[in-house]
Amino acid sequence: MKRIFMLAALAAAAAAPAYAQTADAAAPAATQGVTVYPPEFFTESRPNSAWDMINRIPGFSFDNGAQVRGYAGAAGNVLIDGKRPTSKAEALSDVLSRIQAADVERIELIRGGAPGIDMQGRNVIANVIRKKADSFQQTGAIGSHIFFGTGKMLPALRYEFTRRSGDTTIEGQLSRGVSMDDSVGHGQRTFRDGSGAVTGQQEAFTEGDGGPLGAKASIKTPLFGGEFRSNVALASNDFKYEDHFYTSSSKTDVVEKSINKSVEIGVNYDRPLSERLSLETLALQKLGDNTYGSSFVSAPDNSYFTSDSETGETIVRGVLRFQKSPTLTFEGGGEAAFNFRESQVRYAENGGDIPLPSADVRAEERRGEVFAQANWRPSKQFAVEAGARFESSTISSTATGLGVTVEKEESFFYPKPRVLATWSPNEENQLRLRVEREVGQLNFGDFVASANLSNGLGGGTFTSGNASLVPDKTWVYEAAYERHFWGDGALVLTLRHQQITDAIDRVPIEQLGPDGPDAGTDPDVIGVFDGPGNIGDGVNNSMQVDLTLPLDKLRVKGGELKVNYTLNDSEVTDPTTGEKRPISGLRPQSTEVNFRQDLPDLKLTWGMGWFGGWEETYWRYNEIQHLDIWNFYSAFVEWKPDGKTSFLFEVDNLDPFEFTRQRTVYDAPRDTGSVAGVESFTTQSQLRAYVRVRRTF
C-alpha cells in the first residue's frame, strides 16, 4: 500500500500545520454553546484565508468529510454562511482556502447545536460568516515540491477569483496540483523460505506522482425570495507509480498508470416559507471515467492488467426546517439517489489472455432516505439533539467472469437513530454524550477483481470481487470532555465504543466456473481467491486526545504546541482460523505533535512537526501483510511582508523514514497451511522541500 497525499494546487493546507492564536489576541465571546472568534483573534498570525483561520481555532479538529455516495453522509465539519457547500467533488479545505481572510466577518464554533444550524450529524461544527461588502479579489500562487534524492521537481499553479456584488457572489478557480507518494526512493526486496533462509535479494527504486488538473466555478444569488446556488467542477487526475527491481543479472519493471476524470454539476435553492419555516432543496449530478493499467516486465516474461470503469451519481434532496422558538427547532426531509459503476478488467501473460473472476461488473444502487430530528436547548447549560434516519436501498449487480454470469439483487432497510446531549456548566468546560447507529456504505470497487503485479512472491496477487457484501452496521457510544484554559488552550478527550455487525474484512471467496463432467448441472468451484467480505460481529474501542497548548505562560511568546493522539483497540473473529484478531487495516495508534510560533514584529511564522509513523496489518486467507513507516519530521518558515503576499519554505522528512511492506505467504489456508515464504520490501524515503509564493490582488 502506498501513502499518497492528494494535494490540490497550492492549497493553503500545504502551508504546514496551523494552530490557535496567542493569549494577547482578542478574546472570543461565548453564548449558548456558540463561541465567536472575530478577525482580531487572528491578527498576530496574519492569516491569508479562512482555511488558515479555521486551523487556528483552539480545540477544533478539521474534517474534510468523506468520499461516500449520497449527500448527507459526505459532509465536513465547517459551514459557510450557515450552509454547507453544494459541491461534493471539491474538498472543503479547497473552498475555505478560496475565501480571503479579509472577507471573514467572524467564525462561530458551535458545540452541541444552535437554532437554525444544521449540524450535519456532528457534535462540533464551525461556521464561517463572510462580510457583505462589494469586492473583487484575485489570488495567484506558484510552488514546487523538490525531492533531494533524485532532484525531481513537481510544480503546481493556482489562480482563483471571488466577486461579491450585493448578495451575489461568483467564484472561480483553475489549478494544476500535485499528487505524490512520499515513501518512494531506493530500497531492497528480500525473499526467505519457510525456515527463514534467504532465497533471493533485489535492489529497488520506486517513484510515484501525478499532476491533477481542475476547473471550478460557483454562483450564489437571490432568486424568487430565496437563495440560489450552483456549482460546476471539472477534474482530471493522472498518476504514475513505478517499481524497479534489479540484480547483477536481471531486471524487473512494474509500472502503474491511472487517469481519473470527473464532472459535477450541483444546484441548491433555499427559501423561507414563513418567519419560522424554511425549505432547502438540492440536486446534484456527478459522472466519472477511470482507467488503470499495470504492466510487469521481467525478460522474457511479461504481464498486463487493465481496468476501465464508468461511474455516476444522481442526488435530489429536500429539507423543511421549523423554528418553533429560539431554543427549539424541528427539521425533516428526504433524499433519493441513484448510483452506478460499470467496470471491465483484463489480464494477460506473455500475450495470452487469462480469465479473471468478476471481470465484467455493473452495479447499481437505488436509495431513498427520510429523516426527522429536533434540536432543543432548554437552558444555557444543556442542549439535546435527537432524531432518526430511515434508509431503504436496493443494490443490484451483474458479474461475469471465468465463463459464468451471476446476477444478484438485494434490498435493505435500516433505521439510524441518533441522540446527542451536551452539558456546559461554564464557559471553560463541556461534556458531550452521543449514541448513534451508523450504517456503512458498500464500495462498488469491491464488486470487481483487482491485481497487484509488484508482489514478487507468488507471481503477483489477485483479489476477487464480491457481489454478496452487505453494509456493516455499528452502534456508537461516545463521550467527549472539552476543557479550555490559559485563554487559547484547549484539551479534548474523546472515548468511543463501537459495536459492529456484519464487519467487512478479508475472506476466502470460492469462484465458480462452467459446469464440469460431474453429475450436477450447477457451475463448479474452480478456485479460491482473497476478497472483501462480511465476517460477523466486531468491536472497536478508541481514545482520542487533542491538545492545544499556548506557550506564553512558559515564556515562549506567540508559541503554541498542538498534540493529537488516537488509540484503537479492535477485535473480530478471523474467518480462516476462528481466532480473535484486530480489524484489517485499522491503525492501532497515531501520534502527531506540532510546534508553531508567530513573530509579528518580523512578520514571520515558523514551526516544527513530528508524526509518529503508523502500521497496518491485513489478514488474508493465505497471507498476512504488514505495513509500517518510521517517524516523520518537518519544519517550515512563512514570511508575510504585507497582507496580500506570503512566501513559504518547508522542509519535510528531515530524517528520511523507512517504509516496509512484509508479506508472509502460506502454502494453504492459514489454519491448515505452513509458511511458504516471506517477502520484505523496504524503501528509504527522501528529504524534500516545498516552496510557494502566494499573492492576492
pLDDT tens digits for 5-53?
333 333 333 333 333 333 334 445 555 568 899 999 888 888 888 888 9
pLDDT at position 623, please?
93
Residue 215: closest CA among 8, 14, 70: 8
Report the DSSP pairing between strands 301-325 and 473-485: unpaired
Comparing 419 with 14, the larger pLDDT belongs to 419
Backbone angles phi, psi at 670, to 5 degrees: -60, -25
Residue 438: closest CA among 124, 121, 125, 123: 121
Q: Which position has the grid cell 444522481?
A: 314
Residue 29's alpha-carbon distances to 40, 41, 381, 428, 487, in angstroms, are 12, 11, 16, 12, 12
Q: Provide the CA 65 distance to its chain's centre, in angstroms.
A: 7
Q: What mean pLDDT value characterizes the chain?
A: 88
User: In 243-331, where does DSSP find H-type helix?
Assistant: none
Q: Provide the CA 194 distance to its chain's centre, in angstroms.
A: 38
Question: From CA 255, how far away is CA 457, in angstroms rounded?
Answer: 17
| Most confident range, picked from 161-170, 349-358, 442-451 | 161-170
pLDDT at 607 over 90: yes
Mean pLDDT of 616-620: 96
CA atoms within 13 A of residue 539's CA, in its CB half-sphere: 6
DSSP class of residue 166 equals: T
Cell of 482: 472539552
Query: Confidence class of residue 564 from pLDDT cuts 50, 70 and 90?
Result: very high
pLDDT at position 177, please?
93
Q: Which amino acid is at 283?
A: A
pLDDT at position 520, please?
56
Contact 341, 363 (CB under 8 A): yes
Cell of 675: 509458511
Contact 464, 530 (CB under 8 A): yes
Backbone angles phi, psi at 549, to 5 degrees: -120, 105
Question: From CA 620, how far away is CA 618, in angstroms rounded?
Answer: 6
* pLDDT over 90, % of the chain: 65
pLDDT at position 64, please?
78
pLDDT at position 22, please?
35
Q: Which helix (H) or strand (E) holds 53?
A: helix 50-54
Query: Confidence class of residue 85 from pLDDT cuts 50, 70 and 90?
Result: confident
Residue 229: closest CA among 173, 316, 171: 171
Give the list of residues 6+ apart from residue 79 with CB closer than 8 angstroms, or none: 117, 118, 120, 125, 126, 127, 128
pLDDT at position 217, please?
95
pLDDT at position 563, please?
95
Q: Which position has the grid cell 512558559?
A: 554
pLDDT at 340 over 60: yes
pLDDT at position 611, please?
94
Contact 479, 494 (CB under 8 A): yes
Cell of 76: 465536513
Question: What size, in residues, is the chain?
Answer: 697
- Return the HEC string of 619-658: EECCEEEEEEECCEEEEEEEEEEECCEEEEEEEECCCCCE
CA atoms within 13 A of residue 448's CA, in its CB half-sphere: 21
Buried b (16+ CB within 10 A) or exposed e, 405-421: ebeeeeebeeebebebe
Give the list of residues 6+ apart from residue 344 with CB closer than 8 angstroms, or none: 307, 308, 309, 359, 360
Q: 3-class SS at 51?
A: helix
Mean pLDDT of 635-660: 93
pLDDT at position 524, please?
62
Comparing 560 with 14, the larger pLDDT belongs to 560
How many CB atoms neighbour CB 142 within 10 A? 17
Comparing 116 with 76, the larger pLDDT belongs to 76
pLDDT at position 293, please?
95
pLDDT at position 317, please?
95
Residue 112: burial class (beta carbons within 10 Å; 0-12, 13-18, 19+): buried
Query: Confidence class of residue 2 from pLDDT cuts 50, 70 and 90?
Result: very low
pLDDT at position 448, please?
85
pLDDT at position 25, please?
44
Residue 599: closest CA among 44, 143, 157: 44
Contact 45, 16 (CB under 8 A): no
Cell of 53: 483561520
Query: Confidence class of residue 597 from pLDDT cuts 50, 70 and 90?
Result: very high
* pLDDT over 70, % of the chain: 90
Q: Which position has the grid cell 522474457?
A: 300
pLDDT at position 173, please?
94
In tens, the pLDDT along 364-385 reads: 999 999 999 999 989 888 999 9
Mean pLDDT of 409-417: 94
Question: From CA 4, how far away is CA 19, in angstroms rounded?
Answer: 24
Report the DSSP pairing between strands 124-130 and 78-80: parallel
How many CB atoms neighbour CB 618 within 10 A? 17
Backbone angles phi, psi at 408, to 5 degrees: -135, 150
Mean pLDDT of 78-88: 82
Comparing 416 with 449, the larger pLDDT belongs to 416
pLDDT at position 681, please?
94
**What domains are there in the chain, each with its CATH number?**
181-696 (2.40.170.20)
Question: From CA 107, how far away is CA 82, in angstroms rounded?
Answer: 10
Question: From CA 298, how far away is CA 392, in angstroms rounded?
Answer: 50
Contact 256, 240 (CB under 8 A): yes
Question: From CA 333, how far away is CA 384, in angstroms rounded?
Answer: 20
Residue 455: closest CA among 254, 683, 657, 622: 254
Report the DSSP pairing between strands 589-599 and 559-573: antiparallel
Residue 163: closest CA among 138, 144, 182: 138
Interior angle at CA 68, CA 66 and CA 69, nearest 5: 145
pLDDT at 128 over 60: yes
Question: From CA 98, how far away is CA 58, in angstroms rounded?
Answer: 22
pLDDT at position 116, please?
66
Give the list of residues 6+ apart from residue 230 with CB closer than 8 angstroms, or none: 86, 218, 219, 265, 266, 267, 268
Q: Provide the CA 153 distance to its chain's centre, in angstroms.
A: 26
